[in-house]
Structure 1
Amino acid sequence: MSQQVNAKSVTRNVGWSVLSKTSTFGLKFVTVPILARLLSPEEFGAVAVALALVQFLAMIGGAGLASALILEPREDEETIHSVFWANLALSFLMAAGLFFWAEPLAGWLGAADAAPLLRLMSLLVPLQLAGDVAYALVARRMQFSKDALWSMMSESLAAIAAVALAIAGFGVVALVIQLFVAGVVRLAGLFFVSRYLPRLRFRLGEVTRLARFSLGLMGSEIANFVTFQSPMVVISRFLGLAEAGAYSAANRFSSIPNQVVLSAVMGVLFPAFSAMMHDRERRSQALMLSTQVTTLLLAPMMFGLWALAEPAMFLLFGPQWAAAWPVLGLLALSKGILTPCSTFIPYLKGAGHGGALFRWAVGRAVVTTAAVAYGAYEGTLVAAMTALCIVNALVLVGYSRLVFSADGTPFLSGFLRAVRPMLMAALMALAVRYALDHVLAPRLPATLQLAAGIALGGILYGVLVLLTERPLLRKLIELARRPKASPALP
């Protein structure tokens, strides 16, 4: 690792990452409802199904090689260039396969009309993989502050382009152009920040060595991807593109808090935990602190969205989507249940437990896919989302036991400390939902329901946190007050 990892460096990089994600939060908060009003559920569903396949191929193409570069003890130019060309070559092969096999693949996914989109979006595979090596260099150097501006720029320009094209009547093309604009700007930013310039050097032995090392990481990444994307494919096949579009719109909106907090935190924690691989005490303390903090921040957003899903769906997405509010609420609930797990995957990767992570990730992917398929086949989209919530509750317990066992932390005490902020958020959400159903909804329009619910939830959660998390708050205040000491985590 190129720089010393301590509380100050990790906190600073997490701060920059969260800032870059938060800056796009406002745009996505506005643009997703705007696009939902301008486009049909079928158009949302077609792009979502095609994108799921593109992202899956991009993940396979990376083969975990970029993650392996982050764990390398030093930056070797031959190895870095070899990984770049291996990724790029494989990405073009997969893009060609996706282009020529678009029709049968779209039919298998239950979205035959998405074949033209698959052909167009096949170019996203090399576009995404071309930046993997540059991102690995940024991550291992902990240069997230330098990357933040480009991340904000790519998402902002893409969102603006999508809305402008949708208003101009370009329909589903607006969503596709959004992906390409974000990809191109993001790629340019990664190369600029990392100062990486590909050269014609290739050593097969280095690629083979890293590939053997990264098989476990690759397998777990693919399994996690299947977990997150399989509901879209299942819903498309069993319930049709309209229901897939409703799921996609609700999932996009409910995922915004995750994108703001989790994607920023996880990107920093993986190289940080890697640097602490041989220091169990620091690693254990960092695990608990990061888990508590991310749960403290993220859980109230997700459970609060569950409580206010009905007026939020009607107000933000419009009447044509209003009936899908239970889907939005259940998706937010399913994500809220998993908030304590937000640091578990980077911990297992960084601490060298790739084999255990792979086995659990595969099991989770199988159970999640089966549960959603059963709910969709036997009932409706709501039944499928209910099954997802039940599975995620079991996943929370299973992953917690795995991680605390690997860390040497007693399960019960570690689990209770990790989930306590989530339980407070759940109590807050139940109170807000009761107030909404019995007091606010009969008397106020949707706008005031939403505003009153947010205010009430914020006050209740603040009181509950002050009553239950004073030690954690004192620790955070202490860290904030000694910026010059650069103490080791926590």
Structure 2
Amino acid sequence: MRESLPRLVDTAPTESAVLASALKRGALWSAGGTIFLRLGNIALMAVIARIVSPRDLGIFTLAVTVHTIVVSIAELGVASAIARSDLDVSRIAPTVATVAIGSSLLLAVPMAIFANDIAWALGSAEAGPAVRILAIGVALIGPFAVPGALLQRDFRQNVVFWASAISFLPGSGTLLLLASVGSGPEAFAWSRVVGQVIMGGFMMASAGAPVWPRVHLDVLRPLLVFGLPLAGANLLSQILLNTDYLFIGRMLSVGELGVYFLAFSIAMWPTAVIGSILNGLVLPAISVVRRDGGDVAAAVAKGVRTVGLVAFPMAAFLCAFSSPLLLTIYGPKWHAAAPVLSTLAVYGVLFVLGLLLANVIIATGRTGVLLVVQVCALAALMPALPLGISVGGIEGAAVAHIVVIGAVTTPVYVFALRRSTGLGLRRLLHAVGRPSVTALTAAAAAWLATWWIESAVLQLVLGALIGAIIYGSLNHLAITALTPAKARSLLKLKRVASRRHKESRNPV
């Protein structure tokens, strides 16, 4: 008989109001924390960009690429099982802790030993010290995996917010201090490690009683069956996101790589703002909807529409105002990133929508689908990137990303989602139709109204104001429906209608 993960039994159906309240509270904390940190990082990079050179940033980019790829498989995907509300966490958590700690150490040690060789293979031996420092961050993934997943399971995004806020200051101070004395790449690396230690320690202290590593053999195999495909998908996903850095590092200069890295980081602002909310809420929320027999397709369609309302205007604004934004925040030496940013803004919004769909697929337990998606995308991207770079440089790399995510990744996600939830393409297009059209309209109108202004600061501010007014007026009803007051009103009307329906069917 095939082994399976232990599920919760004799669980009373979750009240929709309780779930809605938890989701709303978690979303607000997650959004608030993400916006706070994003604004803090923008302010920090505005200072750092005037201290370090594109070359320093390019060297660090190679080091952090290694770190990002290794971290994606550091806990073998098993921690996501804890975030599933339909599983018995008390039974699986000790085994998850054992797997996460052991696997992260097994990856961190060789990364530190062979740091110089890895850096040389990537095209810049100067990245070796930063790679070795970031290996510490890989080792820390294991101890913090279970506490982080427990907070996610319980929608305790308020704890994650405070952990992020508290760790931001010492991490930023480390970066500023080391960068000011000329240690550019290593400054970025140490700041990440310092922030991770403080954030992880705070989360561990707030997650409750510690989970001590132990191995329950009856859940080990099901955990690995669940986690390994997810880890493989995560690995391929990070390779997809970072392969361009590897190709640019070897085919072009590290200075151009630094310019591209900054543009890509800005283009992912929609993901930075929305991604933490999706990763923190979608998996436990959809698992609860499935457990209670709810309409998963309707929940996903509503989620897609909500994400689109936020992501599309951000991407459209970045595309239209890339040049004044870079000049205003980062300075003239980064102006070369403007055309790349305009192109990558399209990729950013497609990526965040794919992130939502991927979390839904994980919640249905079909993690193998994600592995298939990433294999297909990587097979298409590997030849597309060198071709794009050879033809168009760093802009060509951006175009290659858009072609692959639009023609390969997104269609496969949509097909898998229909198989898992019954949500079809027409309903998805309907969900994103209005946000995408109105965002393009608002961005185009704002650009036409401000293109003649010589001051980059004034153009940026007026463009944002005009675009926000137009977009807000075109989506007034949809945006109002997302506010807490409106949500409470709709919930109250739903309860009244439900009570009247029961009374009509059961007359006294």
TM > 0.5 between the two? yes
Aligned to 1:453: 463
Q: Which residue of 2 aligns with 1:464?
A: 474
Question: Within the alignment, does 1:55 sit opposite 2:63 as a pair?
Answer: no
What residue is the counterpart of 2:487 in the other structure? 479
| Alpha-carbon contact 1:340-1:422 (below 8 Å) kept | no
Query: Structure 1 regions of 5+ residues with no counterpart?
Result: none
1:274 maps to 287
Q: Deviations over 1:71-103 (max 9, x none)?
A: 3621225x3223223222222222121122223
Counterpart residue number, 1:155: 168
Any residues of structure 2 matched to 1:47-86 within 5 Å, and which? 47-71=60-84, 73-76=87-90, 79-86=92-99
**Alpha-carbon distance change, 374 to 24 in structure 1, aligned in 2, over 3 angstroms:** same
Secondary structure (helix, strand or coil) at the match of 1:37 reads coil
Query: What does residue 141 of structure 1 align with?
Result: 154
1:400 to 388, 403, 414: 414
1:6-155 to 2 correspondences below 5 Å: 6-71=19-84, 73-76=87-90, 79-155=92-168
Task: Kindly provide the CA deviation profile for residues 352-411 of structure 1, in whole angstroms up to 9, marking residues without a partner as x.
Answer: 232323212221233234322321133311111122223333244443343245321332
1:428 aligned to 2:428? no
C-alpha separation between the residues in 2 aligned to 1:296 and 1:435?
A: 23
Equivalence for 1:193: 206
Distance 1:154 1:264, change over 3 A: farther
In 1, the alpha carbon distance for the partners of 2:143 and 2:61 equals 22
Aligned residue in 1 for 2:506: none
- C-alpha displacement of 1:15: 1.0
Gaps of 5+ in 2: 1-7, 496-508
Cα distance in structure 1, aligned partners of 2:335 and 2:442: 24
**Which residue of structure 2 aligns with residue 380 of structure 1?**
393
Question: 1:228 and 1:44, CA in 2 relative to 1: closer, same or farther beyond 3 A?
Answer: same
Q: Which has the higher contact order (CA 8 A, sep 6+)?
A: 1
8 Å contact kept, 1:337–1:422: no
Distance in 2 separating the partners of 1:338 and 1:118: 27
Residue 274 of structure 1 contacts residue 350 of structure 1 at CA under 8 Å; is this kept in 2?
yes
Alignment of 1:299-448 (within 5 A): 299-394=312-407, 395-437=409-451, 439-440=452-453, 444-448=454-458
**Alignment coverage as a number of residue pairs:** 479
Decide whether the 8 Å contact of 1:292 with 1:340 is kept in 2.
no
**Whole-angstrom distance in 2 between the partners of 1:480 and 1:186:** 34
Report the Cα distance in structure 1 between the residues aligned to 2:306 and 2:142, rounded to whole angstroms. 32
Change in Cα spacing, 1:475 to 1:338, as seen in structure 2 (3 Å) is: same
- More displaced stretch, 141-150 vs 299-308: 141-150
One-letter identity of the residue aligned with 1:181? V
User: Where do 1:255-294 residues align within 5 Å?
Assistant: 255-278=268-291, 281-294=294-307
Whether 2:191 is the aligned partner of 1:181: answer: no
Q: Bigger radius of gyration, 1 or 2?
A: 2
**Residue 331 of structure 1: CA displacement?**
1.9
RMSD: 2.5
Letter in 2 for 1:433: W
* TM-superposed deviation, 1:204: 4.6
Aligned residue number for residue 3 of structure 2: none
Give the corresponding residue for 2:219. 206
Give the stretch that moved more between structures: 472-481 or 135-144.
472-481
Output the CA distance in 2 between the equivalents of 1:304 and 1:122. Answer: 37
Separation in structure 2 between the aligned mates of residue 386 and residue 201 of structure 1, nearest angstrom: 47
The worse-fitting range, judged by mean Cα deviation, of 471-480 and 131-140 is 471-480
Per the alignment, do residues 205 and 486 of structure 1 end up closer, same or farther by CA in structure 2, a change over 3 Å counting? farther
